[in-house]
Amino acid sequence: MKRVILLCLALLLVQGTAFAADSIKIGLMGPITGPWASEGAEMKQVVQLLAEELNQKGGLLGKKVEVITEDDGGDPRTAALAAQRLATQGVVAVIGTYGSAVTEATQNIYGEAKIIQIANGSTAIRLSEKGLKYFFRTCPRDDEQAKVAAQAIQKMGSKRIAILHDNSTYAKGLADETRGLLEAAKAGEIVFFDALTPKEQDYTTVLTKMKSVQPDIVFFTGYYGEAGLLLKQAKQMNWKVTFMGGDATNNPDIVKTAGKDAAAGFYFVSAPLPKDLPSDEARNFLDTFTKKYGNPPNSIYAALAGDGFRVITQAIAETKSTDPAKLADYLHKDLKDFPGLTGKISFNEKGDRVGEVYRVYRVNDEGQFILQP
């Protein structure tokens, strides 16, 4: 009798899982806690909003889309565990994550489990140089960004250039790449090249040192939190120099930290902001996001995570399949100029996004980010 009951229970369980498989699962791996928790929270908001919209329109292939969120903590070790958890839950694809080093720790786990990974903020060059079939990213690469940054520095006619990074994979990569390009172009002299320690709040030491070598421009490749403090403390030291940042400084919080007077005149390189895109997709999306959460998204990477979700659901709808090999083929070859939130999206054979280039922005006196021609 006991055996019969056990058998029944087992059958029920099997049926239970079969029932659950009736939805298409998409993983979201993001920094929900840890130093980048604000980006992670927005990534989750964006992807969930898009999934809700999709489900209201009837879902995918007649099934509901279910988003499973795992926290990578902004930390490679936590991320590896998160990736393993997602891999065992039968997700078709994973969106994320933000930091390059964090993504790198999970690439092989997803690759071996044949799960498509679409990173949204990992711009380090080497991530897509490993020949991984299932790896994609909606953000451009650092070499692309360095090119635009170096051009902008040359265009401003700067002769004495200081480059400051924060020793993270991303910031150091961007700094090295930019230095290489500037040296190759023989454009000016690199008078300072060093790293600060992120999350410290006092950067007067490094500013005092930089001031003493008298650069025309300081290119800081780290994140917005530190950039805001650098601007504020430079202002307090009465040091008037042009600051420029990489795309990790693209966040309105930089103006809040620095104050409008100190942030004015700050340049940064970034993928275009949603507000500067003429496409209807972006505008509609911004409206619904603002309506639901009360403010437009702060971080461009949240929008890029949304684009990751949109391309993978597009691929599933077009191929009428959840077979990773078919989906990867579709994304590599057949997806051309897909109207994303951040512009047109196509992928090359490495899984890198092509076509879209970085822009240069400048902060005006009101603290707004103005696209530079």
Partner 1 sequence: MEQFFQQLTNGLAVGSIYALIALGYTMVYGVLKLINFAHSDMFTLGAYLGLTLLTSLALTDHIGPLWGTVVLALMVMGLVAMVGALLDRVAYRPLRESPRLSAVVSALGASIFLQNTVMLIYGARYRVYPHDILPRVALDVFGLQIPLVRILILCASLTMMAMLYIFIQRTRIGTAIRAAAIDQGAARLMGIDVNRVILMVFLVGPALGGAAGLMVGLYYGQINFTMGWGYGLKAFTAAILGGIGNIPGAMLGGVLLGVVESLGAAYLSFAWKDAIAFCVLILILIVRPTGLLGERVAEKV
What's the full length of the chain, in residues? 373
Report, in Å, the least distance between residue 199 CB and partner 1. 5
Applying the rule CB under 8 A, the residues between 297 and 356 that interact with partner 1 are: 298
Q: Which stretch binds partner 1 (CB under 8 A): 116-124, 135-143, 201-209, 352-360?
A: 201-209
Distance CA 46, CA 309 (A): 9
Q: How many CA atoms lie within 13 A of 42 on its CB side?
A: 22
Question: Quick check: 295 binds partner 1 (CB under 8 A)?
Answer: no
DSSP 60: B
Q: Which stretch binds partner 1 (CB under 8 A): 82-90, 133-141, 189-197, 242-250?
A: 189-197
Question: Quick check: 201 binds partner 1 (CB under 8 A)?
Answer: yes
Report, in Å, the least distance between residue 67 CB and partner 1. 20
Which CB atom, from 50 or from 255, has the smaller least distance to partner 1? 255
Question: Quick check: 34 binds partner 1 (CB under 8 A)?
Answer: yes
Q: Which residues pair with 165 in a beta bridge?
A: 195
DSSP string, 166-180: -SSHHHHHHHHHHHH
Please pick, from the candidates 41, 182, 218, 328, the single residue that binds partner 1 as defined by CB under 8 A: 41
DSSP string, 255-311: HHHH-HHHHTT-EEEESPPGGG---HHHHHHHHHHHHHHSS--S-HHHHHHHHHHHH
Question: Quick check: 40 binds partner 1 (CB under 8 A)?
Answer: yes
Which CB atom, from 91 or from 210, has the smaller least distance to partner 1? 210
Distance of CA 32 to the CA centre of its chain: 14
Q: Which stretch binds partner 1 (CB under 8 A): 117-125, 222-230, 279-287, 319-327?
A: 222-230
Which CB atom, from 197 or from 368, has the smaller least distance to partner 1? 197
DSSP string, 126-157: GGGSS--TTEEESS--HHHHHHHHHHHHHHTT
Burial per residue of 226-258, b for 16 or more beta-carbon CB atoms within 10 angstroms, e otherwise: bbbbbbbbbbeeeeebebbbbbbbbbbebbebb
Residue 51 host element (H or E)? helix 37-56
Question: Quick check: 167 binds partner 1 (CB under 8 A)?
Answer: yes
Question: Quick check: 90 binds partner 1 (CB under 8 A)?
Answer: no
Tokens 């056990």 — which residue?
A: 6
Question: Quick check: 99 binds partner 1 (CB under 8 A)?
Answer: no
Q: Which residues pair with 267 in a beta bridge?
A: 244, 362
- Residue 100 CB partners (closer than 8 Å, separation 6+): 122, 123, 124, 127, 168, 169, 170, 173
State the virtual CA torsion across 65, 71, 74, 79 in degrees, nearest 10: -90
Report, in Å, the least distance between residue 229 CB and partner 1. 6
Question: Quick check: 77 binds partner 1 (CB under 8 A)?
Answer: no
Report, in Å, the least distance between residue 304 CB and partner 1. 18
Strand order in the sheet with 135-137: 64-71, 23-30, 93-95, 116-119, 135-137
Question: Quick check: 259 binds partner 1 (CB under 8 A)?
Answer: yes
Report, in Å, the least distance between residue 40 CB and partner 1. 8
Question: Quick check: 195 binds partner 1 (CB under 8 A)?
Answer: yes
Question: Quick check: 61 binds partner 1 (CB under 8 A)?
Answer: no
Question: Quick check: 45 binds partner 1 (CB under 8 A)?
Answer: no
Question: Quick check: 200 binds partner 1 (CB under 8 A)?
Answer: yes
Question: Quick check: 232 binds partner 1 (CB under 8 A)?
Answer: yes
Question: Quick check: 154 binds partner 1 (CB under 8 A)?
Answer: no
Distance CA 62, CA 23 (A): 9
Report, in Å, the least distance between residue 92 CB and partner 1. 29
Nearest alpha-carbon partner for 140 in 184, 179, 173: 173
DSSP 74: T
Q: Which stretch binds partner 1 (CB under 8 A): 85-93, 183-191, 208-216, 359-367?
A: 208-216
Question: Quick check: 59 binds partner 1 (CB under 8 A)?
Answer: no
Sites of contact with partner 1 (CB under 8 A): 33-35, 37-38, 40-41, 167, 194-197, 199-202, 204-206, 208-209, 212, 225, 228-229, 232, 236-238, 253, 256-257, 259, 298
